[in-house]
């Protein structure tokens, strides 16, 4: 397959595609990254309900590793290393944000908007990482940096506003 938009058939052609495309969220015709980010919400809810803090962090590490593999396979099969339909990077990075933010609706909403902003705008060094690392790790890493920016802004907001 080339750089066109993947189809439902592509989603189920390989387990890596199913993961990398966020269980289908990456097939959204507009804003697939936004839809992919939303996939993190039910996963986080399950981790909060049935897991511990250590389990939540272990899950993020495991899902990151799976994402490196799935993104590499899917990028290769699509002919574009960081195709827009690959959204597992958003899922895992936003899980990291949610781990620290918790389940408060206002904080989650603000975190969501900030994360999407940083993922789209790609301030330094996110843009440089995105440009330099055209492999599964690079696909995952730039979104972890966007998560870091999000958490930094949220920490400053909490410190200044006492929120």
**Under a CB-based contact definition with an 8 Å cutoff, are residues 71 and 36 in contact?**
no
pLDDT tens digits for range 52-71: 999 999 999 999 999 999 99
3 pLDDT exceeds 70? no
Predicted TM-score of the model (pTM):
0.93
In angstroms, the CA 60 to CA 94 distance is: 10
In angstroms, the CA 35 to CA 130 distance is: 20
Residue ranges of the domains in the chain? 8-161
Instruction: Take residue 68 and report the two structure tokens written for it.
Output: 């490196």
pLDDT tens digits for range 72-107: 999 999 998 889 999 999 999 999 999 999 999 999
């Amino acid at each position: 397959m080339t750089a066109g938009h993947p189809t439902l058939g592509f989603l189920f052609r390989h387990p890596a595609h199913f993961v990398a495309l966020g269980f289908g969220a990456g097939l959204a015709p507009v804003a697939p990254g936004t839809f992919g980010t939303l996939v993190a919400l039910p996963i986080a809810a399950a981790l909060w309900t049935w897991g511990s803090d250590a389990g939540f962090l272990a899950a993020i590490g495991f899902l990151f590793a799976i994402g490196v593999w799935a993104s590499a396979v899917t990028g290769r099969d699509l002919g574009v290393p960081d195709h827009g339909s690959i959204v597992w990077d958003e899922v895992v990075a936003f899980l990291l944000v949610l781990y620290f933010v918790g389940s408060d609706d206002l904080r989650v909403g603000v975190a969501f908007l900030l994360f999407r902003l940083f993922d789209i705008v790609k301030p330094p060094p996110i843009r440089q990482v995105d440009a330099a690392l055209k492999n599964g790790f690079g696909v995952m890493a730039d979104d972890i940096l966007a998560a870091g920016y999000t958490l930094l802004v949220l920490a400053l907001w909490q410190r200044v506003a006492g929120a």
